[in-house]
Structure 1
Amino acid sequence: MSQADDAAETETPLLFGRVLDGNGGARQIGWDEAQAWQPSRPGEVLWLHVCRTRPGVQQWLEGQLDIPEPTAELLTSDQTRPRAFREDETLVGTLRGINFNPGAEPEDMISMQFWSDGSRLVTLRRHPLQTPREVVAMLDRGAGPLDAGATITMLAELLITRMSQSIVDMNEILDELEHDDSEEHAERMLKQISTIRRNCLSLKRHMAPQHEALEQISRDAPAWFEDHDRREIAESIARLRRYLDDIDISKESALVLQDEIRARSLASSEHATYMLTIVAGIFLPLGFLTGLLGINVGGMPGMDDPDAFWAVVALCTLLFVVLIVVFRRLRWL
């Protein structure tokens, strides 16, 4: 991004502005120039990327672009559920992407609102979003979208494509957990699996409405949204559907692995409890016998016999062997 873009980001609602030339390139445009912009030749499109939380954005949308008040409120509000609709010859929508800002979690989502009449495109965001920066970098290289419809299509495609990396990362973690020692690291593994399941649920909850929004664009977009743009949107819809299916598979895999780890931990605990019960069952009669012979009362047999101790040891050994045999016959051992 140029220094002029950085200056615009601090002084006005404009984060960057470009005039698409219809051949994949664009020239930079400032906030003041954009207010009076008119296409100088066929095929030019004005694209303004705006921070919607800065003062005066809604008034600018209503006054400069003649956007109805309810639509302007929608474009600047925090109601970020993905949706899209046609309003006369304009297309309005809200899309979501994964938050890749430092310190963010995959389930954190960032919304981007957009409005376009075919010759002008305004995109709005609250938090930094990488996707518009990628598209404007392509325009600056001369390899960007040709018109407003292609720009909207490319933005939607990149937002969806970024989902794949989060899904791949979750699947890699699941693969590692499947080969990990669940007995030694059960607590850590269960914590990781719970995080993955929460991420899957959050991604599915946030991205499923985007599927409906893209279908709405494909069906109801104005005539300036050309057939090739509709085909690209259809491809994005198919890709999003595959990603949503992958999220379901990851969620089910995490659930199966979680149940397996819990079952192993429970079986290990039950086995330990069982062995302790067997040991107690063996030594309980021996403890009773030695306790009985150890009472300090007169008349205990063998008190004056030097061989009595060894007789008691032999009796305990015999009793121990008998108990082992009995337990084995009962299949307790």
Structure 2
Amino acid sequence: MPGVSTLASVTAAPLLPPVDGLVWGYRFNDDGRADPLDGAAAMLELERQESWVWLHFDLIDGRARKALANLAHIPDEARELLLGVDDRQRMETYGQVIAGVVMDFERADELDPRRMLSWRFCMAPHAFISARRSPLQTMAELHNAILSGRRFPDVLHLFNGIIHSFAGALGAVSVRMVGQLDEVEDGLLDERDSGDFESLGSVRRKAVQLHRQATPLRFMLHSLLAERPDWFTEDAAEDSAQVAHRVDSVCADLVALQERARALQDELNSRQTEMTNKRLMLLSIISAVLLPPTLISGIFGMNVDGLPFTHTPFGFLCTIGVMVFSVIGLLFVLRRMKMF
């Protein structure tokens, strides 16, 4: 990747118009404490670079897209990532600037793997710029944490905090799916039914969706550690390594979850096949048992001379007795053959 200089400081402090579409902005002091900024003050602090800032934009607002397009001293490639529409997760390094696309859960009362959206970022030593199209769960939680006094000493710690929170959300959803698998497994072991295929299929589908999002994030974090810019401090790099380890653990849990769900589905399929075979065996036995009486009734139904019991007062009862005897005899033979 060609090297591009980071956000350069300027000596002047021009008056800047308010920035529409800025969801929130913060200036972080030396101790990591955050002070809120409005649009004009945020852009001013971004230009001054006396302390690092976090600006979070709403891409639905066209004025926010215009503000991002007019940001100076950002590599063109990074700006394209911020304003792009490709939701594929990735991370690119442009000199001292890092930009990328990461996934998050859509903000809702319950985390749903089917409702995951992308957010975009560009980070440099003195700025973390993020943008999204819809409210996101992890972002909202981290924003509330900052409002509650959580501190971030530098840009990388903030990025690590976001990813760590997202990994925690992935883990929480994974734990919830483990509970669903426990219920399916308990029902299977207790032989209450043949298995809840709908719940099992839902768990497998969600596990695949989560793993599909966690795997590229894992590679991105390891790549970030391998090709870290000069402004990464040792403390921040160590924090990134811990976050990468956390994402590795989540990926391993999701793989184990998929394997367990697959094993349970195989067991349920086996149980279903066994039940089907038993039903087919029952139908076969019933057909075999009814075959002799059917044959006998067919013979006595022929309109020909010479049929037995036709001129005796108990012919009907004798015929029924022959049928019953044939059924008992067949059942005895099938039992000796261990057919049931």
The normalised TM-score by structure 2 is: 0.86
1:190 equivalenced with 2:210 (yes/no)? no
**Which residue is 1:24 aligned to?**
32
Query: CA 1:161–1:151 in structure 2 vs 1: closer, same or farther (change >3 Å)?
Result: same
Deviation at 1:125, TM superposition (A): 1.1
Q: 1:179-218, aligned counterparts within 5 Å?
A: 179-180=186-187, 186=194, 189-218=196-225
| Range 256-265 or range 100-109, more displaced | 100-109
Task: Tell me, yes or no, if the aligned pair for 1:218 and 1:233 is still in contact at 8 Å.
Answer: yes
Query: CA offsets, 1:69-124, max 9 Å, x none?
Result: 33211111122222223222222222222334258732432222111221122111
**Cα separation, 1, equivalents of 2:247 and 2:108:** 22
1:64 equivalenced with 2:98 (yes/no)? no
Deviation at 1:251, TM superposition (A): 0.9
For 1:247, which of 254, 259, 267 is the aligned residue? 254
For 1:108, which of 88, 93, 115 is the aligned residue? 115
For 2:20, which of 12, 31, 37 is the aligned residue? 12
Query: CA 1:132–1:319 in structure 2 vs 1: closer, same or farther (change >3 Å)?
Result: closer
Query: CA offsets, 1:252-299, max 9 Å, x none?
Result: 111111121122122112111112212211221222112212334444
| Range 92-101 or range 294-303, more displaced | 294-303
Query: CA 1:181–1:157 in structure 2 vs 1: closer, same or farther (change >3 Å)?
Result: closer
Q: Look up the equivalent residue of 1:245 and give its one-letter code.
A: A
**Which residue is 2:14 aligned to?**
none
Identity %: 22
For 1:174, which of 161, 181, 184 is the aligned residue? 181
Deviation at 1:303, TM superposition (A): 2.5
Task: Tell me, yes or no, if the aligned pair for 1:200 and 1:251 is still in contact at 8 Å.
Answer: yes
Deviation at 1:138, TM superposition (A): 2.9
Query: CA 1:323–1:55 in structure 2 vs 1: closer, same or farther (change >3 Å)?
Result: same
1:36 equivalenced with 2:49 (yes/no)? no
**Cα separation, 1, equivalents of 2:220 and 2:77:** 19
Q: With a CA cutoff of 8 Å and minimum separation of 6, indicate the structure with the bigger relative contact order.
A: 1
Q: Look up the equivalent residue of 1:205 and give its one-letter code.
A: R
The normalised TM-score by structure 1 is: 0.87
For 1:224, which of 223, 231, 234 is the aligned residue? 231
Query: CA 1:145–1:276 in structure 2 vs 1: closer, same or farther (change >3 Å)?
Result: same
Q: Look up the equivalent residue of 2:182 and give its one-letter code.
A: D
Query: CA 1:40–1:23 in structure 2 vs 1: closer, same or farther (change >3 Å)?
Result: farther
Query: CA 1:139–1:330 in structure 2 vs 1: closer, same or farther (change >3 Å)?
Result: closer
Query: CA 1:103–1:153 in structure 2 vs 1: closer, same or farther (change >3 Å)?
Result: closer
Deviation at 1:141, TM superposition (A): 3.1
Query: CA 1:140–1:314 in structure 2 vs 1: closer, same or farther (change >3 Å)?
Result: closer
Aligned residues: 321
**Cα separation, 1, equivalents of 2:34 and 2:203:** 41
**Which residue is 1:275 aligned to?**
282
**Cα separation, 2, equivalents of 1:41 and 1:278:** 86
Task: Tell me, yes or no, if the aligned pair for 2:22 and 2:64 is still in contact at 8 Å.
Answer: no
